Structure 1
């Protein structure tokens, strides 16, 4: 493709910046790179081109982009093939297993650089993102570095979903949602690592459909490593804007969190246990009331009913109060929409967590489709 046609590919309404290029070919015929970008994807036809344009504009050391495509059938592969033909530092890998963890490991195995960095198709990156990750990794000596989970929503609906995504009430006050925080942390979005870390603690756990990044970060910390969040590392994630997709996503997060806890015998954070405990109370107290009434223990039935009403009342008041505090930024609709979105985050995660516990208790090997199907 002529230079003018390449330029047209990149002349899109995204942030301007120079196109990332690998260095000159070395004697072996390979193009030396300082950073390997690894990207798992499947059926991302609408997101993959804006993502690649964002990455190729990076002001960064020479880098390669390794896209592990999980057998996409929506046209994503054709877009990737086009970019791979025209940009020598873009390569498509065939992720036959289709899951994120297998795609990450496939890309790591193919990576040639001493620094490996994960990126996500549903995120846009400031033009110095790669360079800042490398600088912070070198300056801090951390095992893994990243930035806060920022959003830059376009449109009314997207703003409400983004407000719920980053609100402390929905995420339990996780520091990686705090744009102003700089320092050690238990997890960061995506990740940037030195290659030798994978030699030391192993690759991503391919038994996990979700939460493989959380598990890897927990393994890093337990091996004595450090994870660092920097204000200088800036990207903007696009949260889901469908109620059903959001529910499926967080159900799966809850379900697979149990597998991570079983593996390490400890949660990465105690906040991961709260939604499951909440849902267990909401579902369990009515059963207690019914059983107590059936066997004639009136006092227990009354106590259980009062406790159930109290739990729901405290939650409703807390959710409404949290939403009302955002009206100045998100408008009056937030007072109605955000409590609903908060409930979806917590109930879906809690149900997934309880389902994971039941599956573990039954020693269930087959993974239910609702916990395995990766959808956007």
Structure 2
């Protein structure tokens, strides 16, 4: 790997990207970074995990072809560890986080730098705009972009520029990162939310700018999506254990759904076996009506205008409850016993379909 060089340059931008099993997406992500039109020096630091799909070889080839690309090792494969390794190896005072499953829109970096200067913020983020290729991935992307799917965070479609709780990816001042201590390497998911909490607690501003847009490509299969959401939910549960009500109320909706489903199943079984044969209609309504309402919501989302073709709409019927229930199950496990060593298994040992 390339050696780190001493910092001290007064101006410039360091893009940092953790990479693991992203052979189908890496080149497009890198190209979107290198195409950014900037008036200051820039570099891209890739933190390479132990990929099994040719990603490392592709990264080395890209680095050989452009001296702006630098490589560091991330043998642990964890995102915050890779981010910190890339940040420590970086040379410039502005850090722009990039995801290998994403592509920056033209002008993203220049706009973010202007917003940092104009607002005095320590971290600036924009909109995560999900896109898909297959009917399944398009269904997932549509739900990512909908408040119904991921709970209405500003970066999933907010239209008003404002102070924010967190920032998607993030364009950050390096001196503030040094002040608060970089990413917490004990947090495998939700590390950005926790970092932004410390930034705000230190008296700095986190800012949302809807004119900043990043294209995100969701997972390509149902199993990978379920694994991703279970891991994300588990780490949110861990964050609730650590930080309590600093977590927004929206994070508690999926686990509430899981508990309602569990109660309904238990009551249904007891009714069928005659144990609760005399349960009142009022109690039954209180148990089952929320599930009926949720089923109608899922159906309405699948049939709504803009839902795509029939295959995409059918996938929506499965994907929406998968996202909510997987996340909710993970959350409850994380709250009850902690996330422990939970990892996003959807990133391990994958083979992806190349982007066109």
Note the 1:215-364 alignment, pairs <5 A. Answer: 215-287=194-266, 299=278, 305-325=284-304, 327-328=305-306, 330-360=308-338
Residue 122 of structure 1 pairs with residue 101 of structure 2? yes
Q: Look up the match of 2:15.
A: 37
SS at match of 1:39: strand
Note the 1:103-122 alignment, pairs <5 A. Answer: 103-122=82-101
Query: How far 1:79 moved relative to its partner?
Result: 1.6
Distance 1:46 1:334 in 2: 22
Change (3 A) 1:196 1:316: same
- For the 8 Å contact 2:127–2:157, the answer to whether it is kept is yes
Structure 2 length normalisation: TM-score?
Answer: 0.87
SS at match of 1:266: helix
Q: Look up the match of 1:15.
A: none
- For the 8 Å contact 1:288–1:304, the answer to whether it is kept is no
Q: Look up the match of 1:195.
A: 174
Report Cα offsets for 1:264-288 as digits up to 9, x if no partner.
2224311011100110121134335
Distance 1:260 1:134 in 2: 30
Residue 52 of structure 1 pairs with residue 30 of structure 2? yes
Structure having the higher Rg: 1
Structure 1 length normalisation: TM-score?
Answer: 0.82
Count of residues in Structure 1 that have an aligned counterpart in Structure 2:
344
Query: How far 1:182 moved relative to its partner?
Result: 2.0
Note the 1:88-237 alignment, pairs <5 A. Answer: 88-178=67-157, 180-237=159-216
Query: How far 1:336 moved relative to its partner?
Result: 3.2
Distance 2:19 2:215 in 1: 18
- For the 8 Å contact 1:169–1:319, the answer to whether it is kept is no
Query: How far 1:335 moved relative to its partner?
Result: 4.3
Report Cα offsets for 1:210-242 as digits up to 9, x if no partner.
111122122223333322121332221111231
Query: How far 1:155 moved relative to its partner?
Result: 4.7
Distance 2:216 2:90 in 1: 24
Query: How far 1:293 moved relative to its partner?
Result: 9.2
Distance 1:286 1:29 in 2: 59
Distance 1:39 1:333 in 2: 34
SS at match of 1:164: helix
- For the 8 Å contact 1:254–1:356, the answer to whether it is kept is yes
- For the 8 Å contact 1:33–1:63, the answer to whether it is kept is no
- For the 8 Å contact 2:48–2:73, the answer to whether it is kept is yes
Change (3 A) 1:373 1:233: closer
Query: How far 1:300 moved relative to its partner?
Result: 5.0
SS at match of 2:257: helix
RMSD: 2.8
Q: Gapped runs of 5+ residues in structure 1?
A: 1-25
Query: How far 1:250 moved relative to its partner?
Result: 0.7
